[in-house]
Structure 1
Amino acid sequence: MNYGIIAPSSHNVQAGYDTVNSVHYFTIPGSFSYHATGNNSSFRLGSNVNVPGRWAFRIDHGPPLNEDTGPFYPIAGNTSSRSLHGSSPQILLQQPFVYFGQSYNHIYVNHNGHLTFSAPWYNYIPQRFPMYGSRDVIAPFWTDFDNRVNGQVYYNQYTSGSVLQQATQDINEYFPGFNFSATWVFVATWYEMAYYPMTGTRTTIQAVLISGGQYSFVLMNYGIIAPSSHHVQAGYDTVNSVHYFTIPGSFSYNATGNNSSFRLGSNVNVPGRWGFLINHGPPLNEDTGKSENKSVLVF
């Protein structure tokens, strides 16, 4: 779905797709909002394939979600402390990771469902993206967690073996045309985390950073998500929000529980998994809506 100039209007707009009985569906963020039309239309400025004004979906089939485990990479490695609003220590990356043009050698796995690069971040009150802030953040599930009684925060890196093979296979399936080969994978898992102050609730989500050659990707994986009245922001944001994405369902009653849109939805045709190319962001041609970066391949 490609978007060029969109005139402002007070009309409601729905963008996306739906199926019989809504077995599979997707709503592009901005539908039924004031961001749908005009110069700042989220359809035109946003993307799920890193080409502003373009949204792409695989729609040939919909594989079932494993009800027990979700679409997870290995849940293993080092564990962070048990603390309210805590963070991992500074983690030295075995390979630099490029995030929208910025190369990083360290990362922090923050307990409240987000990753940062320059410093730990203890913020437990989610903010809507774009924040127009001063930090790069990847947030698979930014909310108020508390793992002092139950829940673990795991993180691990891989530079060889079956995890790299799996990452290579996944990225080439979701983003064909890149001939991608993973050389490094970082997996952060918030495992059976409790919401504050609801000890005993259990939510498991995961962020998988993948790099190889000139490309960087992130997969966000969702398993069981306990119901909660807490707000949740899922997606990513950059310094000054030059690039950002909000997964549909953020800041809505569909964020948590058995019908969580994060867990049932997908942009890569794997329920519970969302994938993004995040190494760069090609500029948008203001007149045509086409990307100026001719080398970008989309599916």
Structure 2
Amino acid sequence: MGGRIGRGDGPRTGPCGAGGLGREQLPHARAPTAALLYPSGVELGDRRTPLADDGASPPVPLSVPFHFYRRTYHTLYVNNNGLVSFGAPETQYTSDPFPLPDGRALVAPFWADVDVRVAGRVLYRQSRAPGILARATADVGAAFPHLPFTAAWVFVATWDRVAFYGATVAKVNTFQAMLVSDGRLSFIILNYGDIQWTTGAGSGGDPRSGLGGIPAQAGFNSGGSRLYFSLPGSRTPAIAHVGATSNVGLPGRWLFRVDDFSLPHGCVYNDLTDHNECSLFDHLRPVPARHCSLQGSSVLQATVRIEKKLKCIPNLNDVDKLLLNQALESVGK
């Protein structure tokens, strides 16, 4: 499969790849400071994934089942390479494009070749603390104001100032994946702090910059071929600017309902067809609070077909123009 590198390979030699920096040569990991990120840290009860290349947590039993489209999960894994996975840990360090045909169910805030032996840490916890539940309830409510919802459980995974494999430069990324549920409705929140690199050396990236090669994939894959979402810029250099994008009007945050594929402002992806009323680029142009449907091999592709006229909208910022033009090129003009 194109872009699949390393799945099933043995561990790579060396503490951080040939020519890489030792962990002590990079700044010590600090707590995330971006306003959108939820608090994390061992003092809050977070666990840490192993300090290993392509490592993952043990299976994490969930105190509340998580409904992810047509499946319900009772355990998950937090993987060093920017993924939360269901069913099995994920060691693949070069991303594949979504959708994945092999049935893997993944939440991918930033699927790339992370190496916490060089710098950073990966933290996770599930919580029913009143403060975090109230904040999650408010965040979901702001995005879906007409949907009654009170969070009963939150799972937070944080990649805190993590370096890339083979790094010879002190560049680190901070990002977060959250699962939120009331026991019936399920949501994914992806939060982004500082993103300084896109690609590890094992994926063709430049060890001096963390750029080039096959960049990170971001979004989620339900385990089927139709229900997935790929964030604009995935597997292109534009993913470096993911912190400037959003579907909820807050740069650095993407939020989805995933018991039934739904986005803020009423956009729903299912098997129906209505190509006239929908825009997933709601950070570019507001859409009415009404339901609409998309059909196609890719949510992004279906959106681009609808939104070609966005190329003519004035006052798009440079990131929006870049993402849109790359998306248009990917599906043909």
Q: Work out whether the TM-score is over 0.5.
A: yes
C-alpha contact (below 8 Å) 1:70/1:222 kept by paired residues: no
2:232 equivalent among 248, 251, 256: 248
Q: Could you list the per-position Cα deviations for residues 217-244 of structure 1 after superposition, in whole angstroms to 9, with x for gaps in the alignment?
A: 0000000111332511000112232201
C-alpha contact (below 8 Å) 2:216/2:239 kept by paired residues: yes
1:196 equivalent among 159, 162, 165: 165
Is 2:93 the counterpart of 1:106? no
Q: Which residue of 1 aligns with 2:253?
A: 273
Q: Which residue of 2 aligns with 1:176?
A: 145
The 3-state SS of whatever aligns with 1:263 is helix
Taking structure 1 as reference, are residues 288 and 105 closer, same or farther at Cα in structure 2, changes over 3 Å only? same
Q: Which amino acid is 1:252 matched to? A: T
Is 2:155 the counterpart of 1:160? no
Q: Could you list the per-position Cα deviations for residues 256-296 of structure 1 after superposition, in whole angstroms to 9, with x for gaps in the alignment?
A: 2xxx1x101100011100001101246332477799xxxx9
Relative contact order, CA 8 A, sep 6+: which one is greater? Answer: 1
C-alpha contact (below 8 Å) 1:145/1:193 kept by paired residues: yes
Q: Give unpaired runs (5+ residues) of structure 1.
A: 1-66
C-alpha contact (below 8 Å) 2:65/2:183 kept by paired residues: no
C-alpha contact (below 8 Å) 2:64/2:183 kept by paired residues: no
Q: Distance in 2 between matches of 1:104 and 1:75?
A: 24
2:55 equivalent among 68, 86, 110: 86
Taking structure 1 as reference, are residues 194 and 280 closer, same or farther at Cα in structure 2, changes over 3 Å only? same
Q: Distance in 2 between matches of 1:297 and 1:94?
A: 34
Q: Distance in 2 between matches of 1:68 and 1:181?
A: 26
Q: Distance in 1 between matches of 2:93 and 2:48?
A: 20
Matched residue pairs, number?
A: 225
Is 2:175 the counterpart of 1:205? yes
Q: Distance in 2 between matches of 1:255 and 1:128?
A: 13
Q: Which amino acid is 1:86 matched to? A: G
Shift of 1:101: 2.3
Q: Distance in 2 between matches of 1:287 and 1:278?
A: 20
Moved more, 238-247 or 174-183: 238-247
Higher normalized helix content (fraction of residues): 2
Moved over 3 A (4+): 286-291, 296-299
Q: Which residue of 2 aligns with 1:145?
A: 114
Q: Distance in 2 between matches of 1:288 and 1:174?
A: 22
Q: Distance in 2 between matches of 1:253 and 1:221?
A: 19
C-alpha contact (below 8 Å) 2:118/2:164 kept by paired residues: no
Q: Distance in 2 between matches of 1:119 and 1:131?
A: 15
Shift of 1:214: 2.2
TM-score (norm 2): 0.64
Q: Distance in 1 between matches of 2:275 and 2:171?
A: 48
Q: Which residue of 2 aligns with 1:127?
A: 96
C-alpha contact (below 8 Å) 2:134/2:151 kept by paired residues: yes
Q: Which amino acid is 1:212 matched to? A: D
Q: Which amino acid is 1:223 matched to? A: G
Q: Which amino acid is 1:136 matched to? A: A
What do you get for the CA RMSD once the two structures are aligned? 2.2
C-alpha contact (below 8 Å) 1:209/1:216 kept by paired residues: yes
TM-score (norm 1): 0.71
